[in-house]
Structure 1
Amino acid sequence: MRIAQLNNGVEVSDIDLSDDEACRELGRLVAHECVVLLRQKVSERRLYEIQMLWGQPCMPIINRYVMERRLAGKHWREAFLAMGAVSSGLKESGELRGMARVSFEKNERGRPTGLFPNGELDWHADQQAYHDNQRIVGLMSLWGSESSRTSFLCTAPVYDALNHEDRSMVDELRCVWAWDGGDMCPDIDGWHLEIIRYNMIPFDGMETALVDRTVTGRVGMRFPSHCFSHFKGMTKAESERYKAHLWSLVNREEYIFDHDWHDGEIVFMDQNITLHARPTNIVDSHTRTMTRMISYLDRLYPGNGPADHVLYDGAKLGHEEFAAMVDAQRRKEYEELVPVA
């Protein structure tokens, strides 16, 4: 395996992706480096198998409960249909939990077979409001990816460069999150927000520490790029001012890797201290189709699997308790739109 330095990331070449031990070594590199590019093609199933060598598949709690029908009823019907639609493009590969397409392509019912089917995407990370152990997304270009770009920003070197005053502040801050209606992706169809909302911010008031780390101990920030309400203990105005200050330190050319895609490439990216964005405006005349796999790293680093709780209002809520809160909220919203006879 050969490793070359990128701008705040690395590129790997000459690796045998059919060799499980070589792929485990790759996983250890991804865990620490946070952004790793490979210009080698594998099947979607092999991408899944590679990340399963690293850890369990990852799926947002509420989305998983909806798909398993643990959250059910008329008030969940639209969410269930939306979540099912974006996995339909994977039928030929079988059931691959944690994997989805990112594509505008439509199924027989006229709905996209993937996530984020059009428009630009602002800086974000997967499941941003969930307190959890390190998760990795493998994003692989399948076809039609030329002339599109994804940008990556690992915050570890930003944290390392903070002065004493900012470091002390950042170490203590806790982010409070609230659903903003989908400002990250303003061009997305309304039905698609069913998926994004429950992936990102299923319940207002969820909390995460601003500082996070990789399983290897590398420290950075879970930067609140969208759906940010405030820092706990600060007013919203104070929070916005300090967030703007931090963003002026984060949003710098030396920390951003811009990747212009070609078919058959993979970028593995951390989701705890790394942001990504899609500056390319993808529209329905485009054929860009990617596959996206998300997993933990607990098979390489035991004890770093999914957290068993969510942070909310200073407390740890078990998944069942949290799901019940989300269910009650969803039912209330549904009944306000469709009054019960």
Structure 2
Amino acid sequence: MNATQEWKEAGLNFRQITPAIGVEVGGADLSKPVGEEQLQAIRKALCEHSLLLFRGQELPPEPHIEFSRRFGPLENHVLKQFCLPEHPEIFIVSNIVENGRHIGAHGGAKLWHSDLSYMEEPSLGSAFYCLECPSEGGETEFASMYAAYDALPEERRRWLDGRRAVHDYNYHYETFLTHRPPLTEEQKAKVPPVSQPCVRTHPETGRQALYLCYALVSHFEGMSPEESRPILKELTEFATQPAFTYRHAWKPGDLVFWDNRSAMHRACPFDEKGSRRLMYRTTIKGDRPFHRPAAAAA
């Protein structure tokens, strides 16, 4: 399939962004209720292509929440101080400071990750809406873990099939998010380490996706962190090579909806002192990751 393929379904226009990941959806006004036929077409495209882009949206918090909720119950983030007042389903990502404090999570998750992979039931996906963005920088990169798994050497695929890794938010926070205030003991207790399969079977498509990353995985089960880190680095670099990725340059009114079950992402740097970025994110609850070998899934 090439990057220019376009099709229509349920009154919507779909255009593939890259061969590996992403579809731009035209003809949808997400400020209004989405019909069931359109919703199913959107869900199908999300599951198959891992990322959907809706441009030119005017999306107050209520319809943003309601659209997201059509795909499942919503998560409330552990960092409650960065949730939108009166709308805790919306997590604020921003470098803006008001009354001497940041209004949202700042600094950006600049390492590749899948949201909430450190939970027993990670999120299905996230709907990220842009209100303000810098004129340069601040993009978000996405990587197809379907494509990464499909391209792995057979020997490495066999090594990963059935293997598990430990995802640990406390390890991640204390290692990579040192610019943020320390977590409270209550917050730490809510995110104990969890074991996840290294290869995840998508529950709706049945496709296999690589499910690990350098930033959130402390080690492979049965291996020490020292043994694990070089392999995690190798696999993360393999999965995020240009052939499998898409870098989105934000414009106000963009909403990007990605599937955490088959994609990773990261924030790109920008001038955080000289420009403003304000993003609202909802996160849809998912289910427990599982691995069903391809022969069993067929």
- Decide: shared fold, TM above 0.5: yes
Partner of 2:14 in structure 1? 3
| 1:259-338 aligned within 5 A | 259-296=248-285, 305-306=286-287
- 2:184 and 2:152 map into 1 onto residues whose CA distance is 37
- Counterpart of 1:138? 127
CA 1:209–1:6: 2 relative to 1, 3 Å? same
How many residues are aligned here? 267
Q: 1:48 to 1:176 in 2, by over 3 A?
A: same
261 and 190 in structure 1: CA distance in 2 versus 1, 3 angstrom threshold = same
Summarize deviations over 1:170-205 as a string: whole Å, max 9, x none: 11211123414444445x3325x559x759x822x4
In 2, distance between residues paired with 1:230 and 1:102? 28
Give ranges in structure 1 of 5+ residues lacking alignment: 64-82, 297-304, 310-341
1:117-266 to 2 correspondence within 5 Å? 117-118=106-107, 121-132=110-121, 135-147=124-136, 148-178=138-168, 179-186=171-178, 188-191=179-182, 193=183, 198=188, 202-203=191-192, 205-216=193-204, 217-266=206-255
Q: Normalising by the residue count of structure 1, what TM-score does the alignment of the two structures yield?
A: 0.70
Q: Does the 8 A contact of 1:141 with 1:265 survive in 2?
A: yes
Cα distance, 1:146 vs. partner?
A: 3.4
Q: Answer whether contact 1:145 1:288 (CA < 8 A) is retained.
A: yes
Q: Indicate if the aligned counterparts of 2:129 and 2:279 stay in contact, CA closer than 8 A.
A: yes
2:94 to 97, 103, 107: 103
Secondary structure of the residue aligned to 2:110 is strand
Q: Name the residue aligned to 1:333.
A: none
- Please tell me the residue identity of whatever aligns with 1:105: I
TM-score under structure 2 normalisation?
A: 0.79
Structure 1: distance between partners of 2:211 and 2:184: 23
Question: Residue 51 of structure 1 contacts residue 295 of structure 1 at CA under 8 Å; is this kept in 2?
Answer: yes
Q: Which consecutive segments of 4 or more residues in structure 1 shift more than 4 A?
A: none
Higher helix share: 1
Query: In structure 2, what is the Cα distance between the partners aligned to 1:230 and 1:84?
Result: 28
Mapped partners of 1:274, 1:221: distance in 2: 9
Q: Which runs of 5+ in 2 are unaligned?
A: 1-11, 290-298
Contact in 2 for aligned 1:85/1:111 (Cα 8 Å): no
Percent identity reads: 21
> How far 1:290 sits from its partner (Å)?
0.4
> Residue 13 of structure 1 aligns to which amino acid in structure 2?
G
Shift of residue 120, structure 1, vs aligned partner? 6.1
